[in-house]
Amino acid sequence: MAGPTSFRAFILALSLSGAAAEAAEPVSSPHSAPGAPPVLYVHAGAVGAFPQVNAQATGGGIFSAANIAIPPQYTLALETGYFLTPNLAIGFGAGVPPIAHIKAAGFPMAAALGTALQGSVRYGPVVMLLQYHFTQFGAFQPYAGVGAGYVLNLGNINDGVLTNFSWDQNFAFVLQAGTDWMFTPSWGVFIDGKKLFYSTDAQGFSGGIPVRTHARLDPWAASTGITFKY
């Protein structure tokens, strides 16, 4: 019959075998497996718009195909998006509405009037994009998008030589390319470029004579800032 010594040896053997089994199991680490892909992203930062103006006078007056000039505008912008899949997203973008100043380069009355400014408009473009995000490069995550926008007129400003100046609203076709550089899975920085294919009409009165001009702007928009992914 087994004595107390044999019983204690049996218990010790069981304990050692259990400890060995636990040691053989892999220890899970919060960093050993990739986290769930993000569902939402947010881009917040500064943007510059650079119109590429090609205008054509349709109603006579001081405008011509070569003399329209719109200086760059700078403002703040926000873009947010929803991931349909880990790579495919729908993005929506808008910004703080800037003011575009429409000038006529070489305007013959500029010296007499003290300005070549014809009028200004506060506008607000909104865009919707279908994007593909590349996720196989680690923290470097480029993307490309295509979509449409609508350029809202939020206020005509009669601060130039034209009276009753106005600028029409219109749709735009949008191409996008950029990249996120993620410092953590949740946040990083981004750079982004968009090309808007956009044209519209401007009109007003010069000395009582109606002036109407069709302008193809096709602006570039470059932005940078902080990106968040959740």
Q: What is the pLDDT of residues 157-192, one digit of tens each?
A: 999 888 999 999 999 999 999 999 999 999 999 999
Q: What value does the mean pLDDT of the chain take? A: 84
Task: Judge contact between 100 and 125, C-beta under 8 A.
Answer: no
187-225 burial, b at 16+ Cβ within 10 Å, e below that, comes to ebebbbebbbebbbbbbbebeeeebbbbbebbbebebbb
pLDDT of amino acid 161: 84
| Residue 113 predicted with pLDDT over 90 | no
Q: Which domain holds residue 160?
A: 38-229
* Residue type present at position 46: A
Residue 28 lies in a domain: no
Residue 145 lies in a domain: yes
pTM exceeds 0.85, yes or no = no
Specify the CATH number for the domain of residue 152.
2.40.160.20
Note the helical H segments in 36-190: 110-113
Q: Count structural domains, the chain.
A: 1
| Residue 107 predicted with pLDDT over 90 | no
pLDDT of amino acid 29: 41
Residue 27 lies in a domain: no
Residues 6+ apart with CB under 8 A from 82: 39, 40, 89, 90
9-27 burial, b at 16+ Cβ within 10 Å, e below that, comes to eeeeeeeeeeeeeeeeeee
Residues 6+ apart with CB under 8 A from 8: none
Position 112 confidence tier, pLDDT thresholds 50, 70, 90: low
User: Got the DSSP string for 150-215?
Assistant: EEEEEEEE--SS-EEEEE--EEEEEEEEEEEEESSSSEEEEEEEEEEEEEEEEEEEETTEEEEEEE
Task: Judge contact between 63 and 109, C-beta under 8 A.
Answer: no
Residue 1 lies in a domain: no
Residue 221 lies in a domain: yes
pLDDT of amino acid 86: 95
Q: What is the pLDDT of residues 10-39, one digit of tens each?
A: 455 545 555 444 444 444 444 334 578 999
- Residue 194 and residue 116: Cα distance in Å, rounded? 29
Residue 171 lies in a domain: yes
pLDDT of amino acid 24: 46
Residue 5 lies in a domain: no
In the three-class reduction of DSSP (H, G, I as helix; E, B as strand; rest coil), residue 116 is classed as coil
Residue 138 lies in a domain: yes
